[in-house]
Structure 1
Amino acid sequence: MLHRFATAAAVCMLIPMGATPLASADPGDPAAPPVADAGAPPPPPPADNGVVASEVPGIAKTPDGRTLTVAAKDETQLPVAPLTTSLSSRDWLVGGTFTGTTTGSVNGGSLETGYQIGCGVEMDKIKLNGSVGATLGNGSLTTTGVSLPGSISFPIQGQVEVEPRPGTITNVVVDKKTFKGTSSRITLKDIHIKVDNCVGASSLRSYAVLTSSGTDSDDIVAYYGVTKVF
C-alpha cells in the first residue's frame, strides 16, 4: 500500500516539471507583427507640412541691469506654387508667434518681424542680340542673251544673352509693432512671402528685432530662425 502511494506521488511531482511547448505566432493572426518584404521599395517620405523648429531666444543684458528677450514659437514655412507660374519665382506660406519682453523700467519700444530670403543666383536681365544680312547669288543667262539676277537670301542670326549676377539676401518686413509697456507679441498666420528673378537655390529664415527704449538710450536684440533650403 505504501509503495503504490509513493509511486503515485512521484508521478504527480514530475508532471509540473515537464517542458512547456513554446507558443508560435500564427502568420494569419491579425495580432502578429507584419513581416517586412525585403524586395519592397521603401515608403515615400512624409509630406512637408511646413513645421519649422525655432531657434533659441535672443537674450541681451543691458548696462543698466535690464534683460531683453526676443523669441519665436509655432513657426511654419511651406513652399507653394507661385501665381506667376514662373520658374524664377519663389513663394512661401509662413506663420509663427514672435514675442519680445524686457525687465526694469522702460519707456516702451518696438518689435519688428519678417523674413530673410537668400537666392543663389539672380537673373538680372535678358538681351536679344541679332543681325540681318542680304546675299545675292550668281545670275543666269537665258536663250535671249538677257542676264537674270540670281537668288537673294536674307540670313538672320540671333542669340539670347542672359546676364546672371551673384545672389543677394532680401529682407521682407511683415510687421512692426510699437508698445509702451515691457512686452509685445506679433502672430502671423498664412502670410505669403514672394521673391522673383531667382534661378538658383533659395533659402528662407525668420527674424525678429526687439528695441527697448530707455530715457536716454535704445537697446536692441535680434532673433534669427532656422534656415530652410528649398
Structure 2
Amino acid sequence: MILRKFAGAAAANAILLSFTTGISHAESVAVPDVSRTINTVDGWRMKVAFTEVSINAVPNMAAALLTREGFLSGRVTITVEGDGAIPVNSGQLVLGAQLGCQADLSEGLDLDFGVDLDTDLLFENIPDLGIGPDIGTTLHSGGITTTGLGAKSLKGRTATISVLDAHVKIDECGGAASVRLFASAQMSTDSSDDSVNIYSAVLPL
C-alpha cells in the first residue's frame, strides 16, 4: 500500500512538473517603451505611449503547480496634438492585460495505478514487481483572457493611467503562460471617431 501511494505520487508530480514552466523566483523584467502616432480623419495627431512597463513573475503564494502569478506595472499616455478642422468632444484611454495559457487543465488529472506482486518460483525471496499506470487527462487548447487595469476620460489634450504592481494570475494552466499589457485610446469629434491600440512585448508568466 505504501509503495502504491509512493508510485502514484511520484508519477503525479512528474506529470504536473512536465506541464509547468513557470519562473522559479521573483524577477522584475523591464519591457521596452512602445508608442504609436496616427493622424485622425479631422486632422488631429493622436499619440499613445507605453513607458516604465515591467512584469514581475513570482511563485504563487499557494504553491499550486498549475497557477501562475505576477505583478504588472506601467504608464500609458494619450496626447492630442495639432489643429484639427473640428474640435475634439471627448476621448477615453483604457489600460489592460492579456493573459495567455497554452493548455487548459481545468478538468484535472486522473491517476490509477495497479500494482501486482508475484514471487518467482526460482527466486522465492525476490519479489517481481509490476506497476501498471493508467493516467488520463482531458487536454483543452488554452486561450487568451483580458483583464482591465484602468480607464481615464480625455478632458483636454492629454490623459495618463499609471499602475504599480497590479496583481494578475492564471489558474489550471499547463505548458507556457504569458502576459502583455495593452492600451486602447479613442477620441471623438462631431464628424468622426478615431482609435488606436498599442501592445507591450509578450513575456512569460
Q: TM-score, normalised by structure 2?
A: 0.69
Deviations 1:11-37 (A, max 9, x none): xxxxxxxxxxxxxxxxxxxxxxxxxxx
1:200–1:76 distance in 2 versus 1, CA, 3 Å: same
Alignment of 1:64-213 (within 5 A): 64-103=42-81, 104=84, 105-126=87-108, 161-213=136-188
CA shift, 1:129, in A, is: 9.3
C-alpha contact (below 8 Å) 1:209/1:221 kept by paired residues: yes
Secondary structure at the counterpart of residue 43 of structure 2: coil
Gap regions ≥5 residues in structure 2? 1-24, 113-132
- Structure 1 residues 121-130 or 168-177, which shifts more? 121-130
The answer to whether the Cα contact below 8 Å between 1:55 and 1:224 also exists between their aligned partners in 2 is no
Q: Which has the higher contact order (CA 8 A, sep 6+)?
A: 2
Partner Cα distance (2:163, 2:140) in 1: 33
Deviation of the 1:64 alpha carbon? 1.6
Identical columns (%): 29
In the aligned structure 2, how far is the partner of 1:57 from the partner of 1:184? 15
Q: Is 2:26–2:59's contact at 8 Å kept on the other side of the alignment?
A: no
How many residues are matched?
Answer: 158
Paired letter, 2:162: T
Secondary structure at the residue paired with 1:50? Answer: strand
Q: Distance in 2 between matches of 1:129 and 1:78?
A: 34
SS at 1:213's partner residue? strand
Q: Deviations over 1:68-112 (max 9, x none)?
A: 111111111011122332111111111011101123431121110
Greater per-residue strand proportion: 2
Larger Rg belongs to: 1
**Shift of residue 182, structure 1, vs aligned partner:** 2.1
Distance in 2 separating the partners of 1:191 and 1:201: 21
Residues 180-189 or 54-63, more deviating: 54-63
CA distance in 1, matches of 2:26, 2:169: 19
Q: Secondary structure at the match of 1:57?
A: strand
Q: Counterpart of 2:107 in 1: which secondary structure? A: strand
Superposed displacement of residue 127, structure 1: 6.9
Q: Return the alpha-carbon distance in structure 2 between the equivalents of residues 54 and 208 of structure 1.
A: 15
TM-score normalized by the length of structure 1: 0.62
Q: CA deviation at 1:160?
A: 5.7
C-alpha RMSD of the superposition: 2.4
Q: Deviations over 1:31-86 (max 9, x none)?
A: xxxxxxxxxxxxxxxx8751323343122211221111111111110111223321
Structure 1: where are the runs of 5+ without partners? 1-46, 131-157
SS for the counterpart of 1:174 is: strand
